[in-house]
């Protein structure tokens, strides 16, 4: 398998798939679809820490935007569930 095509194969299935001709057996080959890549970018963004750089910037505009969408969701959840927001809501409820 040429090195340039390794990006489209799932590494989970490739790690143990080294054979004599260095191609994975057909039952182990698993192509990653664009939808899976997009879902992973969104998921990775939501798992990122505050201040993390976008790993997709400069590679794919769509994947970079999906990562940013997940990142913004993570920030929104952290703000909405943090102790400062709880104090704010308690203060509003008292008045």
Domain-by-domain residue ranges, the chain? 1-32, 34-95
Residue 81 in this model has a pLDDT that exceeds 60: yes
Radius of gyration of the chain (CA): 20
Residue 14 in this model has a pLDDT that exceeds 80: no
* Confidence band of 31 (pLDDT split at 50, 70, 90): confident
Provide mean pLDDT across the span 18-32: 58
Provide mean pLDDT across the span 74-94: 93
- Residue 26 DSSP label: T
Residue 8 in this model has a pLDDT that exceeds 60: no
In whole angstroms, what is the distance from residue 52 CA to residue 31 CA? Answer: 28
Burial level of 5, CB count in 10 A (0-12/13-18/19+)? exposed
In whole angstroms, what is the distance from residue 89 CA to residue 84 CA? Answer: 9
pTM score of the predicted model: 0.64
């Amino acid at each position: 398998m040429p090195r340039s095509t390794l990006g489209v194969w799932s590494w989970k299935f490739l790690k143990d798939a080294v054979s004599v001709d260095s191609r994975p057996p057909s039952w182990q080959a698993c192509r990653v679809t664009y939808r899976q890549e997009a879902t992973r970018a969104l998921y990775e963004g939501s798992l990122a820490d505050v201040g993390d750089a976008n790993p997709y910037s400069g590679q794919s505009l769509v994947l970079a935007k999906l990562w940013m969408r997940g990142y913004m969701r993570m920030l929104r959840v952290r703000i909405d569930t943090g102790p400062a927001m709880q104090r704010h809501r308690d203060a509003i409820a008292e008045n």
